[in-house]
Amino acid sequence: MLLRLLLLPPLLITFGCDKHHPVPPEYRVEPSNVKRGQVYYRSVCTDCHQRELGRSIAPMDFTMAQWDNYFTVGLHSDGDERKAIQYFTGQTYRQQIAGHNEVARVFSDISNQEMSNDVRSFAISRAKDSDNPGSCQ
């Protein structure tokens, strides 16, 4: 726990954005931490997308409704159940990549539901039709 507290502030500074981007009430899930979702998305999701697809997927690539549907359905676009979002935000996946991904290691004890909520909230807060589309970079 202490290690996570020591590592998290530099990670947040690395990703720039210091203001909270609220999620509209109709898309809110609790508990969720938009900032932690941002760090996870940038370090874990983007890393995988770059490796597997050769490109990143920015939150502003989709609308809030599209992100909401994606997290509700829980599958990547090809429909392969082995690629469920719950798997990629889950503790098992985080433990598997912890050896080469510092954020996954630091966030390894966050519950599956909390991490999924965090990433969902970040994606929706930065969606194409949000008040602050895109990313902090």
Domain extents for the chain? 30-125
Q: What is the pLDDT of residues 33-78, one digit of tens each?
A: 999 999 999 999 999 999 988 999 999 999 999 999 999 988 877 7
- Residue with the two structure tokens 């999924």: 116
What integer pLDDT is reported at residue 121 of this predicted model?
95
User: 10 Å Cβ neighbour count for 58?
Assistant: 18
Residue type at position 15:
F
Model confidence pLDDT, tens digit, residues 19-35: 454 688 888 888 889 99
pTM for this prediction? 0.79
Which segment of 26-30, 98-102, 132-136 scores lowest on mean pLDDT?
A: 132-136
Nearest to 126 by CA among 45, 51, 31: 45
Whole-angstrom Cα distance, residue 16 to residue 13?
Answer: 5
Beta bridge partners of 75: 84
Q: 71, 69, 64: which is closest to 116 by C-alpha?
A: 71
Confidence of residue 2 (pLDDT cuts 50, 70, 90): very low
Residue 103 predicted with pLDDT over 90: yes
